[in-house]
Structure 1
């Protein structure tokens, strides 16, 4: 298939081919056509904040009680004292499996005894539900792993399950030790995908690991697994190493983080931090070899701050590219307050970990200028429920800013979902469900 043929196929899918009989085999999150109701009234776009890079911090774009809720996930033994599941990088999706909707949830969690997911954590947990409201239950892993905590589908602890020809945990993913941190190695930001009738998990080994970067797991059974490592990750994460991350990361260890998966029809792509992507091989065991990973064409801020959590979502014949960006507060020369996606600098304080998004006609771009999709909703994903409603996830980042305040930090690091609204085929914007969408910036 040529690149032109592949693009034509993608465009036909976005135009509505999923409604012609293949929807049952595709995730509910696959790009679908707009409803096609010319007389329908859509909420308006808000005018762009000026200059480019200014954040829209109005409460209309916050997850609130009227547009969001925290998922009532089944508690693990470690969660019972606090009464909630501590989670970062919340991921939720809905897939059609066996003719029925199946909701899935996962994210970055911490191990008992630690207050963050570092310098190590103990793996990936998965929850499922028949509806967004639940009941949410841990997947049953006890059939093939009776001695491990229920719902834990992958962990460096499972290195003992490696067999000739079947690797569950690669050497670069194993726990290790040093004098500075002690036990090291953690897994971050997992995503769960149902593609061509098989379950995949794309995740990232975090900053304290022997090698830092994205990898993929392949289920040999159902959603609970058991999972093995994709063959392309036996020796290293996806992509090539480069200089990056905290100073304590060893030279040559840092690869591309925050990996995710985007699919249309029978094709799939790896989406990587921060603006990179790669096509998966047909056997889904590795990415297609290339001398350098291609980049999304997008409009950066000037200067461009550090971004995380790249994610692509298709809707209404368009592609939406999400990033997580810290908004920072500062005081301008005239004494007014500025809240913008500025890089760190003296006089700037972190405020919220936002979701920013841009739109394009093609997966590769060019993408539009970004706008604020949700305040405090960074490092998220967008998904479609089984009725076609649009949602995004959030977790309330406790590291800094608003949710790090001692009066609020107890409500941070949660598995949250917030309803979205689409401004239609003319506006082509997605926002957190607003109270007053007709009110313009500054109104």
Structure 2
């Protein structure tokens, strides 16, 4: 959907919302993948990362006031490949691998996906991903030298490449060696922070937060996979009441069973399987590394989201109604797809320690 150009209109997808208490007061932040007017997707290029702020979940939501950082730039835009001209010796805003580039097939290329905003040890960070049309595809982190509005610069660990190592993956048009682990996020506890990578890799951040503690091969969270295991994305870790929740996005695919009835399952792609809903699936553990329980569906159609706690202790999840395939691609519904939203979560208690999208019969 169109990338917003007004204070009130948050219209984008891969929504992220969170709440942080800063100087004793709640600060709500929102961001997501956007597209530029005139394009029907967030590729082959988009114009970067926008941030909205509010003092309560109900709003009013306003674009972060970036006018003091870039008086002549569009308000709320905190980072973009457009800002490559701001690079200075010892301070990189946009690395060469993040800059726009061109080819004969797609023309202008380079896009940022799935940003998250975090407040840790008194500083603001953004973890995001350069998308499939970038010179290198993968996750990176920005650190603010001011407030939530910036100015942001790239951390040292991403000057040459995204986090992690390259491997074969993604669409066929991605150049060999360009693909790294996508959809990176940040999980923090106390004075420690971890990078969470697609879809079960993690790494501890260095004490200076300028990169990750490198090892020979990144460790993996211990999961209980489906059988067979489908493609998952959008890994996010949320801690609540001493439990760790590992959230993924999974496509529910429909097929016809032996009795002629419709079957819904998180199956890998197949000739007789049709993508239908983009769901949020969750597993729980007593530790960050796992082992994690069997997964359950926390929200139908709510995939690629995050869980968060508001300043009053209420639990919420974001959603954006993925229109790539299935339910929200239907012409009758597509106008209501790719929009940001939040929904309450309910907790089943300590025995099961499960979080779900709140059911209608329990909604307040």
Q: TM-score range by the shorter chain?
A: over 0.9
Instruction: Please name the residue that 1:244 is paired with.
Output: 169
Instruction: Please name the residue that 1:76 is paired with.
Output: 5
Q: In the TM superposition, what is the alpha-carbon distance from 1:435 to its structure 2 partner? A: 2.5
Q: Is the 8 A contact 2:4 2:12 kept in 1?
A: no
Instruction: Please name the residue that 1:426 is paired with.
Output: 351
Match of 1:183, SS state, is strand
CA–CA distance in structure 1, aligned partners of residues 283 and 103 of structure 2 = 42
CA–CA distance in structure 2, aligned partners of residues 178 and 115 of structure 1 = 19
1:27-38 to 2 correspondences below 5 Å: none
From 45, 51, 63, the equivalent of 1:138 is 63
- 1:236-293 per-residue CA deviation (whole Å, 9 max, x = no partner) reads 0001100000000000000010000000000000000011000000000000010000
From 273, 279, 282, the equivalent of 2:198 is 273
1:24-423 to 2 correspondences below 5 Å: 75-76=4-5, 84-423=9-348
CA–CA distance in structure 2, aligned partners of residues 207 and 291 of structure 1 = 26
Using the size of structure 2 for normalisation, the TM-score is 0.97
CA–CA distance in structure 1, aligned partners of residues 296 and 183 of structure 2 = 21
CA–CA distance in structure 2, aligned partners of residues 235 and 364 of structure 1 = 28
Q: In the TM superposition, what is the alpha-carbon distance from 1:86 to its structure 2 partner? A: 2.9
CA–CA distance in structure 2, aligned partners of residues 94 and 325 of structure 1 = 26
- In the alignment of these two chains, the number of paired residues is 360
- 1:21-72 per-residue CA deviation (whole Å, 9 max, x = no partner) reads xxxxxxxxxxxxxxxxxxxxxxxxxxxxxxxxxxxxxxxxxxxxxxxxxxxx
CA–CA distance in structure 1, aligned partners of residues 68 and 101 of structure 2 = 29
Match of 1:268, SS state, is strand
Q: In the TM superposition, what is the alpha-carbon distance from 1:436 to its structure 2 partner? A: 4.2
Match of 1:424, SS state, is coil
Give ranges in structure 1 of 5+ residues lacking alignment.
1-73, 438-443
Which one has the bigger helix percentage?
A: 1
CA–CA distance in structure 2, aligned partners of residues 157 and 113 of structure 1 = 18
CA–CA distance in structure 1, aligned partners of residues 114 and 265 of structure 2 = 25
Q: Is the 8 A contact 1:108 1:187 kept in 2?
A: yes
- 1:196-222 per-residue CA deviation (whole Å, 9 max, x = no partner) reads 000000000000000000000000000
- 1:306-327 per-residue CA deviation (whole Å, 9 max, x = no partner) reads 1010000001111000000000
Match of 1:126, SS state, is strand
Q: Is the 8 A contact 2:156 2:210 kept in 1?
A: yes
Q: Is the 8 A contact 2:298 2:355 kept in 1?
A: yes
Instruction: Please name the residue that 1:61 is paired with.
Output: none
Give ranges in structure 2 of 5+ residues lacking alignment.
none
CA–CA distance in structure 2, aligned partners of residues 400 and 85 of structure 1 = 22
CA–CA distance in structure 1, aligned partners of residues 134 and 87 of structure 2 = 19
Q: Is the 8 A contact 1:238 1:256 kept in 2?
A: yes
Match of 2:157, SS state, is helix
CA–CA distance in structure 1, aligned partners of residues 194 and 314 of structure 2 = 24
Q: In the TM superposition, what is the alpha-carbon distance from 1:426 to its structure 2 partner? A: 1.2
CA–CA distance in structure 2, aligned partners of residues 349 and 232 of structure 1 = 40
CA–CA distance in structure 2, aligned partners of residues 84 and 201 of structure 1 = 22
Q: Residues 119 and 435 of structure 1: is their aligned pair in 2 closer, same or farther, counting only changes over 3 Å? A: same
Instruction: Please name the residue that 1:60 is paired with.
Output: none
Higher RCO, Cα 8 Å, sep 6+:
1
Q: In the TM superposition, what is the alpha-carbon distance from 1:85 to its structure 2 partner? A: 3.3
Match of 1:427, SS state, is coil
Q: Is the 8 A contact 1:86 1:110 kept in 2?
A: no
Q: Is the 8 A contact 1:88 1:109 kept in 2?
A: yes
